[in-house]
Amino acid sequence: MQARAAAVGVRVRPHAKTHKSAVIARWQLEAGAVGITCAKLGEAEVFAAAGVPDIRLAYPIQPANAARVLALLDRVKLSIVVDDPDVAEGWSAAMQAAGRKLDVLVKVDVGFHRCGVDPESAKAGVIIREIASLAGLNFLGLLSHAGHAYGAKSAEELEAIAETEAGTLRSLATQLAQDGVEAREISVGSTPTARFVEDQDGVTEMRPGNYVYFDRTQVGLGAATLDDCGLTILSTVVSRPATSRVIFDAGSKVLSSDGARGFGTATGHGLVYPGLDSPHPDPSIIIERLSEEHATAKVPPACALRPGDRVRILPNHACAVVNLADELLVVDGSADGLAIVDTLRVDARGRVW
Amino acid sequence: MQARAAAVGVRVRPHAKTHKSAVIARWQLEAGAVGITCAKLGEAEVFAAAGVPDIRLAYPIQPANAARVLALLDRVKLSIVVDDPDVAEGWSAAMQAAGRKLDVLVKVDVGFHRCGVDPESAKAGVIIREIASLAGLNFLGLLSHAGHAYGAKSAEELEAIAETEAGTLRSLATQLAQDGVEAREISVGSTPTARFVEDQDGVTEMRPGNYVYFDRTQVGLGAATLDDCGLTILSTVVSRPATSRVIFDAGSKVLSSDGARGFGTATGHGLVYPGLDSPHPDPSIIIERLSEEHATAKVPPACALRPGDRVRILPNHACAVVNLADELLVVDGSADGLAIVDTLRVDARGRVW
């Protein structure tokens, strides 16, 4: 990811939500990342304590949290996003009262329709200029997340989303420049669109997160191959109650209930590698239903899995899986079987506020 | 729940998966529960360490875990379920090798089609008698979980599921008795069917879990009223990017992605109480989509919610929410507003193996 971005002169600021690991954040910084991205303050506090020097909260943090933000500002280079003039004024007041400056980017809605200033609104420019003019704030630029990329039906659609995202942000930045406001940073971020960064003229920073592990959804969206995926769930068969049914001990409290996404018609709750060192998943094993502690899979009668057998499951959504675990096992897949070589703490697990 | 069960002479062994709390387990025991139910060994280990004296693992634990089971047997009265003769033989061998006896119940599939011996199979009686005859095991009886109750479309269907469940188990027990095998315990368990325990002749024990908090799904299944529900998510509005849209800071890493269940056509990710002390949810606020850290809600233009406002969200599935939290805030709803009076650790959070 770093090499791809460097080739087009774009900075990388990985979203740490996927790994929530101080060790991996350090690897990303060593590889050339300019800092990391977090969503919640609680995550930023964990990474700040672990020595990450530059953190961007790509999330509309509220001024009620000013004390926590000020404490972070004493330790790290911190930036946040805003998408609302009232919230920006709250931050402005809090920073002026503390005699500090806070770096802010304005979140722009590039089509996901979650947070963000609507760039098609006649007021968009006015709102951004107003925010940029506030004392106590240091306006850095524009930030977006093309979350609708996860609903794309083809690589062409993904590429169009990436191009539109960059075009929308460029156009806003040009408009702002005409009004004397400089957007020095144009930050985009999503793993499915990351491979089209070459098409995103004007972008200065990308914030992919999931790429650190990838998952079945990223494979479904053409962002990764199965061999690129770095996180699977070790699971044990606990019942074979019928020839057509196998029960694994990984339920929604391990796999999460997040569904399959991708261009195809992927269904089910992950892909099953029927042995610990199976090179390929077995598509005939379909996890049709999750309970909290069980995965119920439909299998062909010839499936040899019996209670006690162990499998690996490639999850639909790695970020959700990691957040459900306290620690991960690091395995050497090149060894005979799978040798556990280390453990990896999920340092920022559950830091949701 | 205890009073309802006592009225018909049925023992209560609550499933601790919902609360995962040593404090609440103690309250349940003080109210008359004969012990608790867990799924995974890791949960049992937490509750054993907390002093719970009697734990049933309503889960097909594998003999590879014999060392952990033997360690638990030194501390608590422990029972497990089996649904496979090979697994039962594995346990038999492990217990004989250790010179111990392990209490087992046979899991019976009463229609959920997850784990369990198929009672309609001609082999069911043979399998159960074989398991009951094994040295090192102490056969207690039969156990079921009518998980298909969560798909019921009416109270009548729920009641029929409860009656069928008990009838299936009674019939098997009668057949076993004719062959000289006594099923002293007949254990059922699910919160939606718990109110029909009066219809379940022959049942000796029930294992409801969710009732300790209830949730939107239980309201949807007629098992609870909104006022019965004891767990909500405190959430903050972080954006009001459009008149028709509000963004809350509780995403799938707080609410889980578990969907709405119930007789009606409930959709969305929880019910929103628009103020901390609102007596009723506002059905016009519909959480249409969850991201990991955001809930995207459709609202009518008149909705007054603004960034910084705080709401409470009744989740679709309380068990999943609790497992995502390290601790819960205990609030006094009778106070002016919501006074935080205590915190409650989720002691067994994430103990999935």
pLDDT of residue B335: 65
* B142, B170 Cβ separation under 8 angstroms: no
B103 in the same domain as B13: yes
Which of A212, A237, A265 is a domain's end point?
A212
Banded model confidence at residue A264, pLDDT cuts 50, 70, 90: confident
How would residue A256 be classed by pLDDT, with cut points 50, 70 and 90? very high
**Confidence grade of residue A336 (pLDDT, cut at 50, 70, 90):** low
Nearest to A249 among B116, B251, B353 (CB): B353
- Kindly determine whether residue A241 and residue B118, on different chains, have CB atoms separated by under 8 Å: yes
Answering whether pTM is above 0.95, one says yes
B253:A352 CB<8 A:
yes
The answer to whether residue A346 scores a pLDDT higher than 90 is yes
CATH of the domain at A185: 3.20.20.10
- Structure token pair of residue B162: 């409860």
**A62–B contact, CB cutoff 8 A:** yes
Which value does ipTM take for this structure?
0.97
* Residues of chain A with C-beta less than 8 angstroms from the C-beta of B240: 84
Question: What values do phi and psi take at A236, rounded to 5?
Answer: -115, 140
Cα separation, A124 vs A105, whole angstroms: 14
Residues A139 and A287 grouped into a single domain: no
Other CB atoms within a 10 A radius of the CB of residue A198 amount to 13
Distance CA A3, CA A22 (A): 22
DSSP string across A296-334:
EEE--TT----TT-EEEEE-S-HHHHHHT-SEEEEEETT
Distance CA B251, CA B272 (A): 13
Q: Where are the alpha helices (DSSP H) in chain B?
A: 2-7, 22-30, 41-49, 66-73, 85-98, 124-132, 155-178, 191-194, 216-220, 252-255, 318-323
**Do both B26 and B52 map to the same domain?**
yes
Across the range A145-154, mean pLDDT stands at 97
Could you tell me if A112 and A208 lie in one domain?
yes
A353 in any annotated domain? no
User: Quick one: A12 and A160 in the same domain?
Assistant: yes
Let me know whether B161 and B202 are in one domain.
yes
Mean pLDDT of all residues in A100-105: 98
User: Helical H runs in A74-211?
Assistant: 85-98, 124-132, 155-178, 191-194
B350 located within any domain: no
CA dihedral A114, A117, A121, A122 (to 10 degrees): 170
One domain for residues A165 and A235? no
- What is the C-alpha separation between B81 and B97, in angstroms, rounded? 20
Residue partners of A272: CB distance under 8 A and separation at least 6: A248, A281, A282, A285, A287, A297, A311, A312, A313
Instruction: Inspect the interface and report whether the beta carbons of A292 and B84 lie closer than 8 Å.
Output: no
CA dihedral B67, B71, B72, B74 (to 10 degrees): 140
Phi, psi of B139 (to 5 degrees): -75, 120
- Compute φ and ψ for B310, nearest 5 degrees: -115, 140
Q: Are residues A155 and A267 in the same domain?
A: no
- Best B57, B115, B234, B269 residue to mutate vs chain A (most A CBs within 10 Å): B115
Q: How many domains does chain A have?
A: 2
Specify whether the CB–CB gap between A185 and A141 falls below 8 A: yes
Pair A120, A27 in one domain: yes
CA distance A315 to A254: 9
Q: Which residues of B touch A117 (CB under 8 A)?
A: 241
Q: Could you report the per-residue pLDDT of A128-144, keeping only the tens digit for each?
A: 999 999 999 999 999 99
Which pLDDT score is estimated for B40?
98
List, run by run, the mean pLDDT of 10-residue segments along chain B (353 residues). Answer: 96 98 98 98 98 98 98 98 98 98 98 97 96 98 97 97 98 97 97 96 98 97 96 97 98 96 88 93 97 98 97 98 97 78 97 94
Q: Which amino acid is at B44?
A: A
Determine, yes or no, domain membership for A221: no
- Residue B267: the pLDDT is 86
- Of B147, B103, B108, the residue nearest B127 (C-alpha): B108
CA-nearest residue to A296 within chain B is B114
pLDDT of residue A335: 65
**Is B247 within a domain?**
yes
Q: What is residue B92's predicted lDDT score, i.e. its pLDDT?
A: 98
- Which secondary-structure segment (H or E) carries A233? strand A233-242
How are beta strands B310-314 and B233-242 bridged, if at all? antiparallel
Burial class (CB in 10 A: 0-12, 13-18, 19+), B122: exposed
Average pLDDT of every residue of chain A: 96
Q: Flag if A319 and B292 touch (Cβ within 8 Å).
A: yes
Domain-ending residue, one of A161, A179, A212 = A212
Any chain A CB within 8 A of the CB of B147?
yes
Residue with tokens 């077995």: A282
For chain A, positions 285-304, list CB contacts with chain B under 8 A: 289, 291-294, 296
Q: Distance between CA A168 and CA A162 in Å, rounded?
A: 10
Is the same domain home to B95 and B22? yes
Q: Tell me the CA distances in angstroms from B292 to A81, B154, B236, B296, one per residue in order.
A: 17, 33, 15, 11
Residues of A in contact with B350 (CB under 8 A): 253, 324-326
Domain membership flag for residue A219: no
Q: Are residues B188 and B286 in the same domain?
A: no
Percentage of residues in chain A having pLDDT higher than 70: 99
Whichever domain contains A324, its CATH number is 2.40.37.20
Residues on chain B touching A39 (C-beta within 8 angstroms): 292-293
Is A272 within the bounds of a domain? yes
A60/B239 CB distance under 8 A: yes
Interchain contact B93–A (C-beta under 8 A): no
Domain that holds residue A138: 2-212
At B54, give phi and psi (nearest 5°).
Answer: -145, 115
Residues A207 and A286 in one domain: no
- B142: Cα separation from own chain's centroid: 18
Q: Which residues of A touch B322 (CB under 8 A)?
A: none
- Give B-chain residues touching A320 at CB under 8 angstroms: 252-253, 257, 292
Instruction: Show which of A212, A247, A267 is a domain's final residue.
Output: A212
Say which residue the tokens 């634990």 belong to: B61
pLDDT for position A333: 74
Residues of A whose CB is below 8 A from B249: 40, 352-353
Q: Per the domain annotation, does A94 fall within a domain?
A: yes
A352 within some domain: no
Q: Which amino acid, one-letter code, is at A85?
A: P
Whether A266 has a pLDDT exceeding 80, the answer reads no
Interface of A with B in 211-270 (CB under 8 A): 236, 238-242, 245, 247, 249-254, 256-259
